[in-house]
Amino acid sequence: MKLNLLLGLICIFSLTILFHLLVLIKVIPYKMVWGGRLNSDSEMFKFEFISLFINLFFIGIILVKAKIIELSVPDIILKSMLWIMFGLFCLNTVGNLLSKNKLEKLIFTPLTILLAILLLIILL
């Protein structure tokens, strides 16, 4: 079961990376991300690259946890990283609820709640 949850997380993070790439190439307007608070292309590039890096890091952690990538990481560090991810998604849920963009609120609030719940199930 945990492997299925981990594979689900990999799919969600992969789709999230695709979404941020679409924002970067301006297929999706950047007013839909970061709470609708970005004011310029340069801000968008900076914040979207941060998003991509963080999501790639998260997918890397999940790939190691799922043993798809064989990397010798002590279990305590892996578990700590998953708890940090859980905390970040809880905070991100609050941020999405406070977004100026209704579509971001509607789509990404449930997504971050789902990510937090999946991580919590994996952790417990």
Name the E strands within the chain: none
Q: Residue 82 in contact with residue 60, Cβ under 8 Å?
A: no
- Domain containing 70 equals 2-123
Convert 63-75 to b/e letters by CB count within 10 Å (16 or more is b).
bbbbeeeeeeeee
Angstrom distance (rounded) from CA 54 to CA 28: 19
**How far apart (Å, rounded) are the C-alpha atoms in residues 93 and 112?**
6
Name the residue with higher pLDDT: 35 or 116.
116
Q: Is 107 helix (H, G, I), strand (E, B) or coil?
A: helix
* Predicted local confidence at residue 32, as pLDDT: 85
- Using the predicted structure, report yes or no on whether residue 48 has a pLDDT greater than 70: yes
pLDDT, one tens digit per residue, over 56-109 is: 999 999 999 999 999 999 999 999 999 999 999 999 999 999 988 888 899 999
Q: Tokens in use for 116?
A: 């937090």
The mean pLDDT value for 50-54 works out to: 96
- What was the pLDDT predicted at 1? 66
Question: What is the pLDDT, as a whole number, of residue 99?
Answer: 86
Asked whether the predicted pLDDT for residue 115 surpasses 80, the reply is yes
Per-residue pLDDT, 104? 85
Number of domain units in the chain: 1
**C-beta atoms surrounding 90 within 10 Å:** 15
Phi, psi (5° rounding) for residue 27? -75, -35
pTM beyond cutoff 0.85: yes
At 11-33, the pLDDT tens digits run 999 999 999 999 999 999 998 88
Question: Quick check: 43 pLDDT over 80?
Answer: yes
